[in-house]
Structure 1
Amino acid sequence: MNNSFCTILSKERLYQSIALFFSLYEVMDDFCVFVLCVDDETYSLLTKINLKKIILIRIEDLNDKSLYSLRKERKLNEFCWTLKPIFIESLLCKFSSINRITFIDSDLFFFSSPTLIFENQPKPSILLSKSEVYVPSFPPEFNNRIQRLIGHYNSGFISFKNNNISLLCLKWWKIKCLEKCSDTIEANSFGDQKYLDLIPTYFQSVSDIKTPGVNIGHWNYAKHNFRIIDQKCFIDDSRLICYHFSGFRIMSKDDIIQLYELRSIDSPFIYSIYKNTIKKIIADILEIAPYFNGFSNAEDMTTSILKINP
């Protein structure tokens, strides 16, 4: 099974996930996305919509009763982060036909096909996304401090071949996340992400993604130039493959904010493309399921990164 992806989804990210799926429809023909639904509302609505190439999985399908008690102990974002290695491992073990699976956060959006990533680097078992912190309004020492605290990789795009190296790595990552997966930034941990710094040291056949234009986000977009050439989106001199719209919160059908950039005035033009796409999706969902509420709640508006001041 080629071009296999997976994501974890709560109702607060459902509108964004549909934007993600539609963006994949635009840039790829042959793919599938396994979606772990963490609440009944998400599963029910996606079942009703019945999107092609989307395979829905419920928490109970993982056959791990300990996850129910874990949900009571951890905030929703922490719980979803904890599920990441568990879900990826379960898919590789269950579906031997999967050659490689790539986890994609539900707030990613694709502008061109990601197959180039795997064509450029067919050998590594594990591909990691670098997330260089570059915010020019902050002093360099503060950028470096943030980098050290949150880690050098972003777990919103991470890819595993279906082999023993990947399974050993996922088992290790799962154990670490079960031990601790908090959104409180500490010296040696931050969610599921800071652990990724150790993967190249502990495991063989691991590589940073070399293809440009992958998993750019609010943490480094100011480093790049965005432009349209022949109706295609470019970043610097390369095609933009995917942008990570991390921190976007949908407050209502007419109000979408960026939690990390409340005062930003120089956001790339793709923000408008994304917001317009989300608003169209909300309108369509209201027609299909007027009862559904996928807007952000109070818990969804909290983040530790905002508590760090330069």
Structure 2
Amino acid sequence: MSKQIVCTTITKSHLAYARTLAETLLEYNPDAELYVLLADRLDDAFDPEIEPFKLIQLEALPDQNLIERMKFYYTPFEFCCALRGLLHQYVFETLNAERWIFLDSDVMVCHSLDAIFDQLSDVSILLSPHAETPVEIEYAAHEACFLNAGMYNGGFLGLRRTEETYRFINWWKERLIHYGFSDLSIADPRGLFVDQLWLNFVPLYFRDFKLLLHPGTNIGHWNFYDRQFEYDGNGSIQVNQQPLLFIHFSGWNLSNPYQISKYSLLPYEEQIDSPWGKMATQYREKLLKNGYEVTSQLPYAFGTFQDGSSIDWISRRGYYDELKRGITGEDSPFDRAAYFQSQSYWIDSIPLLTEKLHQANQTIHQLHAQVEQIQTSLQETIAQQQLTIEQQQQTIEQQQQTIEQQQLTIEQQQQQICEKDGMLDQIHLRLQAIENSKFWQFRNLWWKLRRSLGQTDTLAQ
């Protein structure tokens, strides 16, 4: 039996996601192999030999001159998406795979994927639609997002080794090399959205395709509204009475695991004890176990010039526009920080400046949120300290009252002792007076006389 091939793309910062994808894939599909294309430079950040996946480095791909340019004019997100055509070409030509699927790295596999590979037995291209049922009119903005971002989700793609597939790969690859930008991110009216929007053409240009309509596949904020989750008799999660195959955690955040996605326009509210809460908690635990806190901080190799200064969107788009006009430059763009930082790119940069303003506003909002959190934390700390001080003051007051009571008791006891000392003094004085009296002296002589006569015992009897 041939291996089931699954592939994905990541930067180093998403290493924990790739590990988790590989871990969950192999848990339910022991005959599968995950191939990870690193849209980054390794820089000895990890050892590929001990990872649960097979690493493909950029140097293994064709068209190295184009890739060198793509490193600069694409952002990390765009670069990861733009390389997908080249990745599928590599799987087709180098791995000679018969059937394979692409999964985004932020996917958690929950079941055998045989049902998906079986669908690829008689079709060239398998697409995953964002939605299968309409929403109510008040939520139509959710559907409008698909008009901008694409009818099909690029986080899944299934392919079979056919001539139709090879034509598709070459067509898609060329468009992603040159037009794989995320224009939506910077309000560019051209309206490109990385690899995903181009998939809208597949039903028109390539007729040998099929839609992946299994309700347990590619669960994300785009289709969560028409998925019913429940547990079967074995405690496994079912989706619309079908097994849950894989979840796509697009726009999901570890710090708020019960929020479906930051991108969602629908009012999802999930609780910790819901099936989503269970899945999100498991995913979070796996990411942390796979080194998320360390790997998420790994730097992107193509994010700075050689002098260490950051490459902004304006420089990236400016370089691309120069290439389109035939201006290439003799040196690598990574060596030309001063040049790009001195250019205005005014006409082409208006949407980019809008994005910069948007990013600045986001930063301001984040800073405001941090200030509010700090203020709230300080208020809580001050309130707690005030409560502690009040409790300590109450304790001190109680102790003072106890001391005062003890002092009063001591004074009373001292007074009683003085009174008793006075009484004893009076008794001593009386006894002394008695002893000094003539009667007492006569009595003592009388007793001495009696003892001398031996009458004491008789008297005692």
TM-score with structure 1 length normalisation?
0.83
- Give the Cα separation in 2 of the matches to 1:49 and 1:135: 46
Mean CA deviation greater in 115-124 or 76-85: 115-124
Deviation at 1:272, TM superposition (A): 1.7
- For the 8 Å contact 1:133–1:219, the answer to whether it is kept is no
Moved over 6 A (4+): 133-138, 254-257, 296-299
Q: Which of these residues, 189, 195, 199, is aligned with residue 198 of structure 2?
A: 195
Q: Which of these residues, 197, 200, 222, is aligned with residue 219 of structure 1?
A: 222
- Which has the higher relative contact order, 1 or 2, with Cα contacts under 8 A spaced 6 or more apart? 1
Distance 1:297 1:134, change over 3 A: farther
- Which position in structure 1 is the counterpart of 2:285? 276
- For the 8 Å contact 1:111–1:233, the answer to whether it is kept is no
- Give the Cα separation in 1 of the matches to 2:121 and 2:173: 25
- Give the Cα separation in 2 of the matches to 1:118 and 1:187: 36
- Give the Cα separation in 1 of the matches to 2:30 and 2:17: 20
- Give the Cα separation in 2 of the matches to 1:138 and 1:277: 38
- For the 8 Å contact 1:132–1:219, the answer to whether it is kept is yes
Q: Which letter does structure 1 place at the counterpart of 2:123?
A: P
How do 1:38-187 and structure 2 match up within 5 A?
38-41=39-42, 44-47=45-48, 49-51=50-52, 54-63=53-62, 64-96=64-96, 98-120=97-119, 122-132=121-131, 139-185=138-184
More helix by share: 2
Distance 1:46 1:88, change over 3 A: farther
Q: Which letter does structure 2 place at the counterpart of 1:93?
A: E
- Give the Cα separation in 1 of the matches to 2:129 and 2:268: 23
Distance 1:148 1:42, change over 3 A: farther
Mean CA deviation greater in 119-128 or 5-14: 119-128
- Give the Cα separation in 2 of the matches to 1:135 and 1:248: 23
Deviation at 1:49, TM superposition (A): 3.0
- Give the Cα separation in 2 of the matches to 1:202 and 1:172: 10
- Give the Cα separation in 2 of the matches to 1:231 and 1:278: 23
Q: Which letter does structure 2 place at the counterpart of 1:238?
A: Q
Identity of aligned residues (%): 23
SS at match of 1:36: strand
- Which position in structure 2 is the counterpart of 1:289? none
Q: Which letter does structure 2 place at the counterpart of 1:271?
A: A
Deviation at 1:264, TM superposition (A): 5.5
Unaligned runs of 5+ in 2: 304-312, 314-354, 359-461
Deviation at 1:140, TM superposition (A): 3.0
Deviation at 1:206, TM superposition (A): 0.7
Distance 1:16 1:278, change over 3 A: same
Deviation at 1:217, TM superposition (A): 0.5
Distance 1:293 1:135, change over 3 A: farther
- Which structure is larger by alpha-carbon Rg, 1 or 2? 2
- Which position in structure 2 is the counterpart of 1:22? 23
Q: Which letter does structure 1 place at the counterpart of 2:92?
A: L
TM-score with structure 2 length normalisation?
0.57
Mean CA deviation greater in 9-18 or 136-145: 136-145
Q: How many residues align?
A: 289
RMSD: 3.0
Q: Note if 1:247 corresponds to 2:251.
A: yes
List per-residue Cα deviations over 1:8-43 (Å, max 9, x = no partner): 111221111111111112111111111111223487
- For the 8 Å contact 2:19–2:51, the answer to whether it is kept is no
- Give the Cα separation in 2 of the matches to 1:81 and 1:122: 26
- Give the Cα separation in 2 of the matches to 1:43 and 1:176: 32
